[in-house]
Amino acid sequence: MIPWLAANNTRFPSVERALDEPNGLLAAGGDLSPDRLVQAYRHGIFPWFNPGEPILWWSPDPRCVLFPDELYLSRSLRKRLRRQDYQVTFDQAFAEVIQACAEIRSEKGGTWISEPMQIAYTELHKRGIAHSVEVWIEGELVGGLYGLAMGRMFFGESMFSRQRDASKIAFSYLTVQLQRWGFNLIDCQVYNPHLASLGARVIPRMTFCRLLQENNDQPDQTHWQYDIDVDAVTGG
């Protein structure tokens, strides 16, 4: 059994209480208020549930992460980046990015990015906590991603591509910019081959939680403005 979260209490149980099967299921209930979401991420917890289900909270073990200095760019991706037939922006179309992430997943048979989720993360964006990366070709939004920045941590949530490699372009630019800003870790939540191809790997949950404690409370002086060129991403 997992605990049910009261509406008036934003505290979470210890992640050590998360189930082994399904991996990482920790609690249910509560709400998607900004305060609760911030507390969740600060403790290595995130919401993930299907429309019509209660809100489910997760902290899987192991945890998929990417250390910014371990970003891997394949030869083909470097070649794609050097074409420079695209534009990358930060925080210019957050609502459009999260909607596109939801639509792409619906086309694949379902999405957890329901309207309440979109409203919740858009509110975090308004508070300067959630951010987006956009990839444009000829003025059309073709890819991007969104997530949360807290301290020196970035918590990736979702990405989408409408053209080949568009999400990889967004992730590459984000990672290099985070490295410039002194961020130490990108939380990728759950392993998948797409992220692994960019250098993501799994670490034990308790190692992840220790890194959280070390980086959550560091001051964040970033201003989320796009100011890097393709040479910074590809290494010239």
- Output the domain CATH number for residue 188: 3.40.630.70
What does the pLDDT read at residue 218?
A: 79
Nearest to 2 by CA among 52, 54, 62, 67: 54
Domains: count for the chain: 2
Q: pLDDT tens across 111-132, in order?
A: 679 999 999 999 999 999 999 9
Do 148 and 226 reside in the same domain of the chain?
Answer: yes
Do 222 and 151 reside in the same domain of the chain?
Answer: yes
Do 212 and 128 reside in the same domain of the chain?
Answer: yes
Residue 224 burial (CB count, 10 A): 15
Mean pLDDT across 213-231 = 76
Q: pLDDT tens across 207-221, in order?
A: 999 999 999 887 776
- Among 15, 45, 60, give the residue marking a domain's end: 60
- Among the residue ranges 111-120, 122-131, 160-169, 194-203, the one predicted with the least confidence is 111-120
- Among 60, 82, 104, give the residue marking a domain's end: 60
Phi/psi region, residue 28 (left: phi>0; alpha: psi -120 to 50; beta: rest), is: beta
Do 72 and 145 reside in the same domain of the chain?
Answer: yes
Two tokens, residue 229: 């060129």
Do 90 and 205 reside in the same domain of the chain?
Answer: yes
- What DSSP string runs through 40-106? HHHTT-EE---TTSPPEEE--SSEEEE-GGG----HHHHHHHHT--SEEEESS-HHHHHHHHHHHHH
Residue 221 burial (CB count, 10 A): 7
Question: How many Å apart are CA 4 and CA 159, to the nearest integer?
Answer: 30
Q: What is the CATH number of the domain that holds 18?
A: 3.30.70.3550
Do 95 and 109 reside in the same domain of the chain?
Answer: yes
Do 141 and 190 reside in the same domain of the chain?
Answer: yes
User: Is residue 25 within 8 Å of residue 2, measured between CB atoms?
Assistant: yes
Q: pLDDT tens across 2-31, in order?
A: 999 998 888 999 999 999 999 999 999 999
Domain of 139 in residue numbering reads as 64-234
Q: Determine how β-strand 87-90 pairs with β-strand 185-189.
A: unpaired
User: Is residue 63 within 8 Å of residue 18, measured between CB atoms?
Assistant: no
- Among 42, 60, 78, give the residue marking a domain's end: 60
Do 121 and 35 reside in the same domain of the chain?
Answer: no
